[in-house]
Amino acid sequence: MGLENDLIVWVSAGFAALIGSSWGFWLLLKKPKSSSSPKNEPSSAKAAPRTITAPSSKVAPEDSSIPVAVAEPSAPLGSATSATSDAQEAPKAAVPAPWEMALKKSRESLFSRWKDALSELTSSESWNAKHPLWEKLEETLLAADLGPNMTERLLESLKKDFLEKPEADVLKEKLREKMLQVFAAVPLREVKTDVKPFVTVLIGVNGAGKTTTAGKLASQAKAQGKKVILGAGDTFRAAAVDQLKTWADRIGVECILPAQGANPAAVAFDAVAAAIAREADEVIIDTAGRLHTKDNLMDELKKVIRVIDKKIPGAPHRVLLVLDATLGQNALIQAKEFSAAASATGVVLTKLDGSAKGGAAFAVSADLGIPVSYVGTGESVDDLRTFSPQDFVQHLLP
Ligand SMILES: Nc1nc2c(ncn2[C@@H]2O[C@H](COP(=O)(O)OP(=O)(O)O)[C@@H](O)[C@H]2O)c(=O)[nH]1
Ligand SMILES: [Mg+2]
């Protein structure tokens, strides 16, 4: 019996030891997995199944998960290989040609109609000024918001050139050429740049993008090593002053704020005085876009210009009329009102990225006789480009 009891004790002990070691071994196996997810990692990252589900025959999961997570945080889970190749291809997609992106909406809208119009070239109708191609082309240009005057001008000119039915490519090239001529015909307003401080005033209705453009311009000037001062001249909206101040802080430039009850002209005066005192290279002045009446606003803008000119004869050196491209032809009506108050040296056409009405640039240039100086291509600090007619036309009608 004693022997039997001993045997039972030994077998039980051995069995317990076996279970115990298996349990320990299982814990050991489990530990590395749980420790690969740091405690304060976001839950989505904790749950990232790449390290668990990626087939072992593919890239070592532990290694591949690191670059994947860094390069492509929103990559679909469980696809380590494709995510890795996405990461390799990312630079191509991440650096799109700026003009291509800015004109994406306008181009898509224009281009589908353009192709539709070209299909008329196969029509058997006799070739003359009444050929269906011309009507379709007219619709195409109007839809891109070139406006009735500009559309008619371009069409009449093309009709004269093509007394015979053209090849599609030749027609496109000719249209591009004529579009470029529209911009070339607008004389550049002479802007004195060899002055210090160089004074810029931004004008335009509320929401056009004045404050944003002031920030972008200040950032560009600062990047060129210039000392810049901003003037928060939209004294009628507290939020507008704060908005410019935020831009100034972010860029790291000084911003002249209105004193209690100050009007835009007083801020303009202070900003120019500060620029002279601090020997700044540039001063960029934001203005109000709306007052109780239109006449009040225009009078106020005239006063801003007068006050600056008094402080620095000949200044402001540059008056930029800021127009919202999404308004298309309607922007022209506003532009005409503002031009009467202050003669603009150039137009800034903002929100080109959000508009299918980029064609308005032609009408703005031709009808107002004011060159487009810049285009706004987004809300970030770098989204302001010097206008290039070649790039514009090339990407509008590729
Ligand atoms: N997408 C896009 N938005 C812009 C651009 N320029 C300005 N905005 C936006 O348009 C809105 C009005 O701009 P703001 O500068 O305050 O206009 P302001 O009233 O004329 O000073 C803001 O939300 C800006 O971020 C641009 O080029 N592209
Ligand atoms: Mg503003």
Q: What is the pLDDT of residues 136-194, one digit of tens each?
A: 999 999 998 999 999 999 999 999 999 999 999 999 999 999 999 999 999 888 788 89
**Ligand nearest 237 Cα, by number?**
2
3-class secondary structure, 61:
helix
**Three-state helix/strand/coil letters over 337-375:** HHHHHCCCCEEEEECHHHCCCCCHHHHHHHHHCCCEEEE
For residues 48 and 13, give the distance between their C-alpha atoms in angstroms, rounded to a whole number. 42
Q: What is the pTM of this model?
A: 0.76
Burial (Cβ within 10 Å: 0-12, 13-18, ≥19) of residue 339: middle
CB 363 within 8 A of CB 146: yes
Picking from 154-168, 205-219, 291-305, 362-376, which range would have the lowest pLDDT averaged per residue? 291-305
- Whether the per-residue pLDDT at 36 is higher than 50: the answer is no
Cα separations in angstroms, 336 against 265, 317, 341: 22, 20, 9
- pLDDT for 48 equals 33
When the pLDDT of each residue in the chain is averaged and rounded to a whole number, the result is: 80
**Ligand nearest 206 Cα, by number?**
1
- pLDDT for 173 equals 96
Give the number of the atom of ligand 1 that is nearest the alpha carbon of residue 376: 27
Confirm or reject: Cβ of 377 under 6 Å from ligand 1: yes
- Whether the per-residue pLDDT at 353 is higher than 90: the answer is yes
CB atoms within 10 A of CB 381: 16
User: Which mutation among 379, 382, 384, 385 tests ligand 1's pocket best, with the greatest number of atoms within 8 A of CB?
Assistant: 379
Give the number of the atom of ligand 1 that is nearest the alpha carbon of residue 375: 27
- Whether the per-residue pLDDT at 67 is higher than 80: the answer is no
- Ligand 2 centre distance from Cα of residue 297 (Å): 14
Beta strands 282-287; 318-324: pairing state: unpaired
- Whether the per-residue pLDDT at 37 is higher than 80: the answer is no
Confirm or reject: Cβ of 207 under 6 Å from ligand 1: yes
Beta strands 282-287; 198-203: pairing state: parallel
CB 210 within 8 A of CB 287: yes
For residues 371 and 187, give the distance between their C-alpha atoms in angstroms, rounded to a whole number. 7
- pLDDT for 97 equals 63
**Strands, sheet with 318-324, edge to edge from the N-terminal-most edge strand:** 254-256, 228-233, 282-287, 198-203, 318-324, 346-350, 372-376, 384-386
Evaluate the omega torsion of the peptide bond into residue 316 and state whether it is cis, within 30 degrees of 0.
yes
Angle at 209 between CA 321 and CA 207, to 5 degrees: 105
pLDDT digits (tens, 9 = 90+) for 269-290: 999 999 999 999 999 999 999 8
- Ligand 2 centre distance from Cα of residue 309 (Å): 23
For residues 52 and 69, give the distance between their C-alpha atoms in angstroms, rounded to a whole number. 15
- Ligand 2 centre distance from Cα of residue 233 (Å): 9
For residues 193 and 66, give the distance between their C-alpha atoms in angstroms, rounded to a whole number. 50
Tokens 């997810």, located at residue = 37
CB 230 within 8 A of CB 248: yes
For residues 296 and 71, give the distance between their C-alpha atoms in angstroms, rounded to a whole number. 54
- pLDDT band of 377, cuts 50, 70, 90: very high
CB 90 within 8 A of CB 71: yes
- pLDDT for 339 equals 82
Confirm or reject: Cβ of 212 under 6 Å from ligand 1: yes
Evaluate the omega torsion of the peptide bond into residue 42 and state whether it is cis, within 30 degrees of 0.
no
**Ligand nearest 232 Cα, by number?**
2
**Ligand nearest 322 Cα, by number?**
1
User: Which mutation among 99, 203, 212 tests ligand 1's pocket best, with the greatest number of atoms within 8 A of CB?
Assistant: 212
- Ligand 2 centre distance from Cα of residue 330 (Å): 20
- pLDDT band of 54, cuts 50, 70, 90: very low
